[in-house]
Structures are given as structure tokens and as C-alpha cells.
């Protein structure tokens, strides 16, 4: 019976599709691809099952309703858009017959209430792009554009601010290689907003066109300064001194060297960013050093962030001199001491610097959970009522050669006992701006050895430009993203592979759509009753992944954060197993660089 019904549907559907224009054909075929329909043959590749028929009818109603919904998002008819999202949420990020999304159209025409609903209630992906191609294969500014592109181009400042506050990427490029910033330059209000919102570089006044991580070349874009231990005034190094400091950090010949400052001879420590006087005078015996600018952009090195309180309510400055580095979670605040920030706050500042944000609001839990405004151009911070003020700086991250631990605190050490943690951009023919890590000796030799390493950070794995991204099948939110960004070809391949999979918990498919990687690996981990069995399963899967990556000569792989949907096992133990096994495999398979990408809401990881 179902076979006969399938034949009837095949015949009617082919006739109906043939009667449509090419644009409408493509629109409907994109929908029917989810059901393995082959237009060239005019048939479904398999008999339509009874349980699929009801879903097919519902989806077909949804795509017909979408014509009104997309027009309503363009015209500002909120009720139709809302009803459509509530009834057919799977189409919230789809493109219309005119290749634009609901969010793009409402942003373009300044319907703030619809934009707000789509983001907050509809849960639309804020960086979803319009279709990057059209039937005539012509370049145009709409193709590949986001809602932020539209709001910037048409000068809708309130929507621009709202989208950015909710995570919109102002460096994402459309089909014409234009960023939202570029789209807004012709509108004075948008241009002035970005001029105040972004760091206009430290040495010139041009609006940036990319994130720091997406820029492949090392750039001179920083300001070197120093201050005495108990003074709050930062003083600029002159050009010769700045060049010497810059070259010393780039060349990594010595972690300490001598330099004349104000006619006194000082020993400069790169590991401490501290200078100590070695001449006879005791005036200004110690000077703190900082470099305003990105450590990645200027030196291709990783760094860690510190803060110093210059004013804190009624606390008075101590006359005693101390070079001790303190932790920010200590309860007794001291002025003119550097405080080590938590890893999470470091990530926030790094992300702000990467996106060239001038200002960043950060909560510091240990200081009454107060909200502080960080100025990433001036390298300063303050609370809302200006009763707490201070400075920020970064210092280079060094590794101990002996134990490979990152050094965050000042410790007496032998010369050449540390390695500087380097960041390297590598361009390949099919993958742009790959970010990789290696360590190199402070005494750099002709043929230094690369030490395998990995980075753990917050991010969106869909946007990772790796050779391979690894997704845990239990993470339903990421699967939804893969389906949406990968399109019908990825969805069909995934479903087919899992329907016909063997006992192998690892499945690989080619990426497509807006997913930036070459390949997607899926881990279907069976939940065991015993923690040790789970660990062994994870170790075996990691081994298989790294071997597969090695065999295919891939260089960069990004793992998503694990999601068990189970409270059986301690999360810390599982993550430690993953990291330890990856690290072991990196010794076997050289030059494979690994990122562990954590979704922004998973702060517990």
C-alpha cells in the first residue's frame, strides 16, 4: 500500500515541481532533500513510511506558511512571524525564497520588536547568514550577510547595539567579503558607534577589519610603558627603548637584559615585566613594565592578565615595597600589588582583545561580585561609582621545561629553564588562519623542537576553521547546530550513517554548508555502569580519532565539550581522561594541534 502511495506522490510531485520557476523549484527541493527525494529521477529514493507521511505533511504546511512569515518579517507583521516560529520552529534559521533569513529581513527594516523576539524567544542563531549563492551565481551584498550586516548598512543603531550585546560577530564576511563594520561606514551614526566601541589600533586611527586571530601577520601595534612601584603614573618608553623591548620579546634570546632608563641602568625581566636598578642610586629601584596592545598581534605569544588596585575605597597606600603576586580571590586587598586573575576572567579579556573591544564589563566574584568596566585601550578598570580604580596588564606565559606547567607566579629560576608559549598562524590552501600552538626555548636554536600542546577555551565549534571538529552525539544542542549550519546534505548523511552504523562508536562525514571544518567526527559513547569502563571507552575512541587524523594528514582538530546528560560520573574525572589521552596521543602523532571548545554557557567545565 505504501509503495503504491509513494508512486502516486512521485508522479504528482514531479509534475508540480516542473511547473514552478527555477527559484521556487530550488526552494521546495531544499525541503524535500530531507526526505531523500531525487528530482532528476522524479522519485523518493525509498518507500515513504507511514510514520514519515504525517511529518512530511506537517513540514510541507510549514514551508507553504513560510512564504507569509518571511514577507511578514520584511513588512513588520509581528503576529504572523510569532505564530510561524511557535508552530514551525525548525524553519527559524532557514532562508526565504529570496535567500534571506527572518532575522535579516526584520533587522534590515528596523523592526526592533521582531528582532528581539526572534533572538530571545525564537532562539534564532544571531550570526546565521543569508544563503551564499543564488540561481544566477551572481555576487551581491545580500548573499552571506547577517542581521548585523543589514542593520549597519541601513543605519539602525539600536538594532546594531542590541545584536552586538547578544553576541553578533561584527567581523563576519558576506559573499562580497564585506564585514558589518564596512557596511556601516557610510552611515555617520554607525561609523561613530564603532569608533567609540572598538580599539582603533594603538598607533593609528583606522577601524579594524578582522579579529586578531583571523589576521595572519605579526603587527607593530602597541605602546610600552613603565611606572614606579608606588606611583600611579605610567610613563611612555621612548621609541628606541620600545623597539628594544619589542625585539627582545620577539627574539627570545634572554629572559633578562640591561637597558638604560632615565640615565640609570636597569635589568629588565621579561618573565616578570619588571625592571630593577643595578646602578648606585636607590631612586626608583624597581619599575613595573607593561605593553598596551595584544600579545598575539604584536608577538604571537600567549599571555596571562593581571590587575593592580590604585584606589580601593578607604585603603591607604603602603610605604613598604613588595613584588609579591597575589590571587584575586584573596579577601584582603592591597594597593599597588599585582593580582592574578582567574582563568575565566582571562578568557573574557582575551576574547574582548581578539574582537578589539574598547570596553568590557566583568564581574569579579571575590570583590563583592561587583561589576567592573575594563578599558582595553587605556589598560585600566573601575567600578560603577569610581571608588575602586586600577590598572591592567598582560605578562607572557612561560612553560617550565622540566615539568611543562605554565608559570604564572614569579619564582627564582635558572636562566634558560623556561619556554615561551607561542601562538602561530598557519595558512593552508583550503583552510585559512589556522591557530596553532607550540613552545620554543628562550635560547632559540636553529632547529627547535615543537612540543605538542592544546588549548581549552570558550567558543562556537561550528565556526572553528579546523581540519576536523569532533561532536559528542549526546550533545543535542550541538547536533541541532550541525543540522542547521550543515544543511540538508549533512543532515541526510548523518541520518544515513547512524541508521546503518556498526558497533564502531566513531562516525565521520564531510562538512558542508556554513560549517568551517573539512570533516565532522561524531562520538556515540555508550553509557557504562562503571566509571572505569567509561574511561577506557573514551581512551579507545580518542586513540581512534587521533590515528584517523594522522592517517589523513590533518593538522588541526577541535573537540566539543562532552555532554553526558547523566549525573553518574564526576565531570572533572571524565574531562581529565579526555585531556590526558589526547596529550598521550600527541606524543605518538607529531604536529597535531588540538583545541577543546567549550560552549559559553558551560561555565562548570
CA 294 to chain centre: 16
* Sheet with 235-236, edge to edge strand ranges: 235-236, 223-228, 286-292, 274-277, 264-269, 256-261
Say if residue 291 is in the same domain as residue 372.
Answer: yes
Whether 204 is in a domain gets the answer no
Q: Determine the pLDDT at residue 51.
A: 62
Say if residue 236 is in the same domain as residue 277.
Answer: yes
Instruction: Identify the domain boundary among 349, 364, 398.
Output: 398
Whether 255 is in a domain gets the answer yes
What is the count of structural domains for the chain? Answer: 3
Confirm if 351 and 429 have CB atoms less than 8 A apart: no
Whether 572 is in a domain gets the answer yes
How many Cβ atoms from other residues are within 10 Å of residue 309's Cβ? 20
Instruction: Identify the domain boundary among 151, 182, 197.
Output: 197
SS3 at position 135:
coil
How many Cβ atoms from other residues are within 10 Å of residue 190's Cβ? 22
Instruction: Identify the domain boundary among 375, 398, 421.
Output: 398
CATH at 85:
1.25.40.20
Point out which residues pair with 381 in neighbouring strands: 374, 390
Say if residue 233 is in the same domain as residue 179.
Answer: no
Residue tagged 552611515 (cell numbers): 187
How many Cβ atoms from other residues are within 10 Å of residue 510's Cβ? 13
Quote the cell numbers at residue 106. 526584520
Say if residue 232 is in the same domain as residue 374.
Answer: yes
How many Cβ atoms from other residues are within 10 Å of residue 559's Cβ? 27
Whether 36 is in a domain gets the answer no
Ramachandran category for residue 78: left, alpha or beta (phi over 0 → left; psi -120 to 50 → alpha): alpha
Confirm if 580 and 404 have CB atoms less than 8 A apart: no
Residue 179 structural domain: 49-197
Separation between Cα atoms, residue 514 and residue 169, nearest integer Å: 15
DSSP designation for 486: H
Whether 32 is in a domain gets the answer no
Quote the pTM value: 0.71
Name the helix (H) or strand (E) containing 129: none
* Residues of the chain under the 70 pLDDT cut: 1, 34, 45, 50-51, 133-138, 204-205, 216, 252-255, 279-284, 317-321, 330-331, 398-453, 501-502, 527-528, 564-569, 600-605
Helices (H), 166-236: 180-184, 188-197
Separation between Cα atoms, residue 310 and residue 232, nearest integer Å: 7
Q: Determine the pLDDT at residue 420.
A: 56
Quote the cell numbers at residue 268. 629588565
CATH at 267:
3.30.720.50
Computed over its alpha carbons, how large is the radius of gyration of the chain? 28
Whether 303 is in a domain gets the answer yes
In terms of Cβ atoms closer than 10 Å to its own Cβ (0-12, 13-18, 19+), residue 411 is exposed
Say if residue 148 is in the same domain as residue 231.
Answer: no
The CA angle 397-398-403, to the nearest 5 degrees, is 135
Say if residue 190 is in the same domain as residue 240.
Answer: no
Contacts of 447 (CB under 8 A, 6+ apart): none
Say if residue 369 is in the same domain as residue 511.
Answer: no
Say if residue 327 is in the same domain as residue 374.
Answer: yes
Q: DSSP labels for 440-472?
A: EESS--TTPPPPP-EEEEE--GGG---SEEEEE
SS3 at position 208:
coil
Q: Determine the pLDDT at residue 318.
A: 64
Q: Look at residues 292, 307, 302 and name the one whose alpha carbon lies nearest to residue 362.
A: 307
DSSP designation for 207: P
Say if residue 386 is in the same domain as residue 477.
Answer: no
Say if residue 145 is in the same domain as residue 182.
Answer: yes
Whether 369 is in a domain gets the answer yes
Confirm if 234 and 226 have CB atoms less than 8 A apart: yes
Whether 75 is in a domain gets the answer yes
Percentage helix, strand, coil for the chain under 3-state DSSP, each rounded to 5: 35, 20, 45
Quote the cell numbers at residue 445. 636554536
Say if residue 343 is in the same domain as residue 473.
Answer: no
Q: Is the torsion defined by CA of 234, 239, 245, 246 positive or negative?
A: positive
CATH at 561:
3.40.220.10
SS3 at position 176:
coil
Say if residue 86 is in the same domain as residue 177.
Answer: yes
Q: Tell me whether strands 286-292 and 274-277 are parallel, antiparallel or unpaired.
A: antiparallel
Q: What is the 3-state secondary structure (H, E, C) of 44-97?
A: ECCCCCHHHHHHHHHHHHHHHHHHHHHHHHHHCCHHHHHHHHHHCHHHCCCECC
Amino acid at each position: 500500500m505504501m509503495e503504491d502511495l509513494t508512486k502516486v506522490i512521485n508522479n504528482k510531485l514531479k509534475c508540480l515541481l516542473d511547473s514552478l520557476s527555477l527559484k521556487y523549484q530550488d526552494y521546495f527541493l531544499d525541503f524535500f532533500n530531507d526526505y531523500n527525494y531525487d528530482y532528476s529521477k522524479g522519485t523518493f529514493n525509498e518507500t515513504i513510511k507511514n510514520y514519515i507521511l504525517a511529518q512530511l505533511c506537517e513540514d510541507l504546511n510549514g514551508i507553504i506558511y513560510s512564504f507569509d512569515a518571511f514577507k511578514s518579517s520584511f513588512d513588520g507583521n509581528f503576529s504572523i512571524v510569532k505564530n510561524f516560529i511557535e508552530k514551525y520552529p525548525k524553519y527559524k534559521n532557514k532562508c526565504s525564497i529570496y535567500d534571506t533569513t527572518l532575522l535579516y529581513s526584520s533587522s534590515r527594516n528596523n523592526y526592533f520588536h521582531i528582532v528581539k523576539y526572534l533572538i530571545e524567544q525564537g532562539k534564532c542563531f544571531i550570526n546565521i547568514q543569508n544563503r551564499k549563492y543564488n540561481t544566477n551565481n551572481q555576487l551581491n551584498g545580500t548573499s552571506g550577510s547577517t542581521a548585523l550586516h543589514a542593520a549597519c548598512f541601513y543605519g539602525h543603531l539600536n538594532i546594531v547595539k542590541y545584536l552586538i550585546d547578544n553576541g553578533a560577530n561584527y567581523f563576519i564576511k558576506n559573499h562580497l567579503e564585506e564585514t558589518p563594520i564596512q557596511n556601516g561606514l557610510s552611515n555617520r551614526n554607525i561609523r561613530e558607534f564603532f569608533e567609540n566601541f572598538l580599539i582603533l589600533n594603538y598607533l593609528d586611527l583606522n577601524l579594524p577589519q578582522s579579529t586578531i586571530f583571523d589576521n595572519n601577520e605579526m603587527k607593530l601595534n602597541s605602546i610600552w610603558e613603565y611606572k614606579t612601584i608606588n606611583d600611579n603614573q605610567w610613563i611612555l618608553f621612548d621609541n628606541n627603548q620600545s623597539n628594544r623591548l619589542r625585539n627582545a620579546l620577539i627574539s627570545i634570546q634572554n629572559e633578562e637584559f640591561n637597558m638604560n632608563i632615565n640615565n640609570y641602568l636597569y635589568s629588565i625581566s621579561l618573565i616578570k615585566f619588571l625592571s630593577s636598578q643595578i646602578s648606585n642610586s636607590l631612586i626608583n629601584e624597581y619599575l613595573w613594565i607593561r605593553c598596551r596592545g595584544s600579545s598575539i598581534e604584536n608577538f604571537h605569544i600567549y599571555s596571562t592578565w593581571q590587575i593592580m588596585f590604585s584606589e580601593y575605597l578607604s585603603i591607604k597606600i603602603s610605604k613598604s615595597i613588595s613584588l609579591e603576586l597575589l590571587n584575586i580571590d584573596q579577601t584582603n586587598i592591597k594597593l599597588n600589588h599585582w593580582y592574578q586573575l582567574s582563568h575565566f576572567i582571562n578568557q573574557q579579556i582575551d576574547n574582548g582583545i581578539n574582537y578589539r573591544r574598547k570596553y568590557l564589563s566583568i564581574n569579579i566574584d571575590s570583590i563583592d561580585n561587583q561589576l567592573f568596566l575594563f578599558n582595553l585601550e587605556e589598560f585600566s578598570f573601575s567600578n560603577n561609582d569610581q571608588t575602586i580604580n586600577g590598572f591592567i596588564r598582560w605578562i607572557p606565559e612561560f612553560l617550565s621545561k622540566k615539568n611543562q606547567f605554565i608559570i604564572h607566579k614569579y619564582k627564582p629560576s635558572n636562566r634558560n629553564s623556561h619556554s615561551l608559549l607561542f601562538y602561530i598562524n598557519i595558512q593552508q590552501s583550503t583552510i585559512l588562519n589556522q591557530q596553532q600552538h607550540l613552545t620554543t626555548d628562550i635560547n632559540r636554536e636553529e632547529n627547535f623542537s615543537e612540543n605538542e600542546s592544546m588549548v581549552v577555551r570558550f567558543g562556537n565549534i561550528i565556526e572553528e576553521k579546523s581540519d576536523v571538529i569532533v561532536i559528542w552525539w549526546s550533545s543535542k544542542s550541538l547536533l541541532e547546530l550541525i543540522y542547521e549550519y550543515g544543511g540538508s546534505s549533512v543532515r541526510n548523511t548523518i541520518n544515513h550513517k547512524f541508521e546503518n552504523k556498526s558497533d564502531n562508536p566513531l562516525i565521520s562525514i564531510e562538512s558542508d554548508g556554513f560549517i568551517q571544518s573539512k570533516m565532522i567526527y561524531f562520538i556515540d559513547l555508550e553509557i557504562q555502569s562503571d566509571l572505569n569502563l567509561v574511561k577506557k571507552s573514551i581512551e579507545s575512541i580518542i586513540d581512534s580519532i587521533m590515528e584517523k587524523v594522522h592517517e589523513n594528514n590533518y593538522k588541526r582538530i577541535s573537540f566539543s565539550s562532552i555532554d553526558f546528560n547523566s549525573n553518574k560520573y564526576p565531570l572533572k574525572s571524565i574531562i581529565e581522561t579526555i585531556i590526558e589521552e589526547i596529550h598521550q596521543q600527541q606524543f605518538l602523532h607529531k604536529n597535531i594541534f588540538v583545541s577543546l571548545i567549550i560552549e559559553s554557557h558551560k561555565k562548570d567545565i
